[in-house]
Structures are given as C-alpha cells and as structure tokens.
Chains A and B, each alone.
Chain A
Amino acid sequence: MKRILVLVEHRDDELEQVSFELLGEATRLAAAENGEVLALVLGSGVHQFAPELARHGAQKTLLADDPSLTHYDPNIWLATIAQLCEQQAPDLLLLPATSSGNDLAARLAVAKNWPLALRCSRVRTTEYGTIETARPLYDGKLQEWTKGVCPGPYLVTVAPGVLGVRPSITEVPVVTAPVEVILPEDPRVRVTGFIPADPDHLDLTEADVIIAAGRGLGGEENVRMVKELAVLLGGAVASTRVVVDLGWLGRETQVGQTGSRVRPRLYVACGISGATQHTVGMKESAAVIAINTDPAAPIFKIADLALNGDVGELLPAIIEGCHGRSRPP
C-alpha cells in the first residue's frame, strides 16, 4: 500500500494504547511498497502527542487542533476527515474500534460510499493489490474475509488489544502538518451535553474491572481498601449477600443469584468463599483473581489466579503495586 492513514485515539491528555497498535500494523502493511504511514489526531491541545506518535511509526502526524474538538462530534469529525481523505487519498484508513472510531467509520462509509470492515482482526493485501480484511463472527467461532467493491479508501476499525504493540523506535524525526477543521452548519445530529461517570457509582454491569468484598475482609473498616483499589483501577465495587446483610455495603453492589450478573474483564474476589449463590453472578468474568486464606474455598475453582493469603495484608500491597501504573480514574 502506498499510503495508510491512522486515526489516533486519546483521552485525558494521554494517548490510548490502541493508537500504537494501529500504527504498528500500518507500518507492517506499508513496508512492502515503502508506503507512507500518517497519523491523524483530532482534539484540543494535541501537539504534545507528535513525538510519541513518531516513535511508534508515524512518518507524519496530521494535527487538527481546535477547542471544538474536545469531545467527539460526529458532524465535525465526518466533514473534516472526509475532506482530508479526499486530499490525501490513502489506500487504507485504520481507526480504533472504539465508540467514536466505529461511529465515524460507519458514517464515512455511507456518506462517501467507501468500503468498510468493523472490528477486524487481520488485514492483508492480495497479489493483485486488493485489500482484504478478516472479521470474527459469533464471538470468534467463525471468521469472514471480505473485500471492498467500491473505489476509495478502505475503512478498517480494529479493537484495542487485538494487534499488540510493537517496540518503539527512539531516533525518529517528528514531522507534523495542520488539518483544516470543518464545522458544518446546521448539523443533522446535535451534540448537546456530556455527563461524566461518577467514580463512586460505576454501573456494575458496565464496569471493566470489579473489586468484590467478601466476609473474609473481616470488618467494615477494611472495605475502604476495596474502594481504594477500585478507584485506582477505574473499576466498580461489588459485594456478596453476606456483606450486604452485615451492612458493610449497599444492596446495589450485590453480585450473585439475587443480585447483579456481571461480565467484567477482571474480577477480584477479596475474602469471598465462592458459594454458588455468588459465583452464578460472576462466572462470566473474563479473568478472576481470588484472594482467600482457606485453600479449600470453592472460589479457587473458578479463579484464573489463586492467591492463598490474607486479604487484609494483600490488598495494601497490591494497591501499592498499582500506584502510578493504572489508568487515570
């Protein structure tokens, strides 16, 4: 491919890991024809990202820097990027499969009649130079290869964590160029506001990370350690029915047979025995860390990491280990 454009994802003044993954993939794909890899950043105060993007493979960073770009706005993004793509004519536009990336890619595809593949796992070029993309169907049980049938940049979104980050290069020139921001008049969709999440009341069913408090914590005063770890990891606090009955946490935190069913990326069970009434609520978790002093506790049967220790001692140690390495809350 001759030119690949990568849309960069950032949040709270930090670049998201997926941006590096996409740049790495773009570098790999462009290597065969010595193609150009461009990074595209839309936001406010984004000049600071250029050096890091360059280190991860952006030969040029296109910056659209404007206060109106603080939050994702489909009208502005669509108009700006459509014009940019008309000008730059990339073969491939790689976007993160995030809420804004997927939304933008779909709008762009429909507006410009460009081929689109959402949530891809692989991209390849055939010997004829056609781009083909692979997507998982049915949670990965099937895989579908598709190709575009319309001319234009191929729009591909890839989910975070699929591609993996390649090592960065240290000595690299930083080249940037500005991008004209287009603010459409009379937008069809109006962005009217923003509600930030309340870190004390994250929805259990939406949380990526859940720290759950069990009887083994010993007392209500130890629950604050659970809360501290949750806030540190940007996660939510859960509990067992016994803990709710004891009054340490409210009923809305209860996970289990008569509480919520949750499917986080990570579930940390602190001092929980793992009776059926609780595990039915969290057995769908992608990964489970269990901490309990009783080696025969049933929770260990479903844990991915089994730590046989005192949760009162372990939690402070874990909290200390997480400091400075977590996502900002």
Chain B
Amino acid sequence: MADLDVFVCTRPMAVIESSPRIRDDGMALDPSCSRWIVDADNAYALEAALQLREQGAVARVVCISAGPVEYDLALTWCLAAGADRVLRVDLPTAGALDARATGVLLAGAVRRAGGSLVIMAQRSGDEQNALVAPAMAADLGAGYLDNAVDVRVEAGEVRIQRRIERGHRQLWAADLPAVVAVAPGANRPRYVSVAGMSLARQGTIEILTSTDPDKLPRLSERVSLVTGRQRTRAVSVPAASASAAERMQAIMGTASKGAGPTMLRGSKEELADHAVAFMQDRGILRPGPD
C-alpha cells in the first residue's frame, strides 16, 4: 500500500421544513433555514473511502469541503465516522458558486495537498448538478469514474463497477489521478454514535483560504428559487359498486389526496384487470393492444 490519501469531497446540506421559506429576493433559501447535516449521499462516499482504508488500499481519509463556517458542525460527523482529517475551504456563504466553480476550487485545494484520488457522492441530497466531480477531474487531469457501486484501488489504478439500468454493471478503470462518483446505495454507511459525535467535536477542522471565488469559471446561474409542488403518490380507487369500466377509468385518472384505497372485490379476471391497469399507469407495463 502506497502512501496514498483519499480525498472525500463532502457537501453539507441544509435541512428544510416541509414548507421552506425563500429569501425575499427570490434567489435563495431564507437564512433561518440553517441547520446543516451530512446526508446519506455523502455518507456513501465516505463509507467507500473508509472501506478502502480498511482494506489497506489507502493510508488516510481526508474529507474536504468548500463553504462557510456554518458547515463545521456538520463536518464533525466526518471525524466521528472515522476520517483522519477534515479540511474546509472557507467561503463567505453557501451556494455562492455553481458546481463548475466549486469543482475548480476543490481541485486546487486537492492539488495543493498533493492528492491524486478523489471520491464524492454521485449527486447530493439537495440535487445540485452532479457536475462537481467531472469539473474536478478536468481540472486535475484525472479520469472521471461515474456511478460507482464498487471501488478498488491497486497499484496506481482505480477500478469500479458502474451501476446502470436493470441492475447491470459496467467495469471501468482509470490510472491515478482519478475522481470517483459513488452511487447512492453503493454500500451501507456505518452508524455514527451520539457519543462518538460528541467526542468528535473535540477534534479540529482545518480551514483553508480560497482563491478569489469571483474569478472562478461558471457555466450557469440561478434565475429564481420557488417552492415546488409535491407529487402525491396514492391513487384513488373507486367504490366497488361502480362498473368495471368506470373503475378502470378512475384508476387511470389523476392522483387523489391519499385518503386510502377502497377494497376491491370481484372475479379474478376483474381484479387482475385492475392490477394490470394500475401497473400500466405506473409505467411498469407497456400499453396493451387497445
């Protein structure tokens, strides 16, 4: 095992209520929404890195993040989970940079720290563009390995199993330097205990200064932020007294407010028809011959 460090880019996510508040200028969340956590997607990435260390493929796990001081409490979680070091590139606010800019910023920090292996989440919980990883890779001259569910590092080469649709896997490889995006569900992130978190708060997070963030290249910029519409999931099922045709039509109609289904009874053919129509509505089945 070489003296190889793995850098895990971690992005704390703001926790928002079911009805979040937008700032008056309509461009960002209201600052009162300021509880930050390290969410599950980042946990998969860190877990992959920790497992590499346990296998002896890397020497140290270094978490790195770019953001304001509000991130620090959330980043403590990385220490509690077992990271050797946690670095934060200091920025005045969260979300000031787009993904491309963030990628370049972090790439610079990793380069200065002498890193050649970077792991991060395929996408973050708040659904930022999954652009940070390829942006970093481009800046570092690294190979970019996407949607990994299995990561191996050996003799300067990174090999991944890449998850694609229907449960198939592709095998990709790249020589170091490499940036790997870990797919959600790739592993089972270890549980971090409450006492462990408390103890980790006694550790330190190293602060790095950033190059002038305004000089970083951007690809896009936000126009506005609005509250979205929640998609409801339940499908209303009409009373058993309606005719089979009416029932099927109702099933294929719009979603209700989730009042719970009505019990359907009937012959096995009728019930089977309901099931098939339901599945078609969900896109599980193709439309049948009409």
Contact = CB atoms under 8 A, between A and B. Distances in A.
B interface, size bucket: 35 or more
Given A118-B131, A189-B174, A234-B166, A313 B268 contact: yes
A97 to B, nearest CB: 10
A140 B231 contact: yes
| A contact face: mostly helix, strand, loop, or mixed | mixed
A146 interface: yes
Interface string B160-172: 0111111111111
B226 A150 contact: no
Contacts of A304: 233-235, 237, 261, 278
A142 B163 CA distance: 28
Contacts of B126: 137-138
Given A145-B222, A305-B275, A317-B268, 17 more contacts: A72-B164, A99-B164, A106-B146, A110-B131, A110-B138, A142-B225, A142-B228, A145-B223, A149-B218, A192-B159, A195-B161, A197-B168, A265-B283, A318-B275, A321-B272, A325-B287, A327-B284
A82 to B, nearest CB: 13
B275 A314 contact: yes
A145 B264 contact: no
B127 interface: yes
A147 B220 contact: yes
A interface, size bucket: 35 or more
B174 A110 contact: no
B127 A189 contact: no
A286 interface: yes
Contacts of A266: 279, 282, 284
A19 B34 CA distance: 40
B131 to A, nearest CB: 5
Contacts of B147: 99, 103
A119 interface: yes
Given A99-B164, A140-B230, A140-B231, A116 B261 contact: no
A255 interface: no
6 contacts: A110-B103, A150-B218, A188-B174, A190-B173, A195-B161, A305-B237
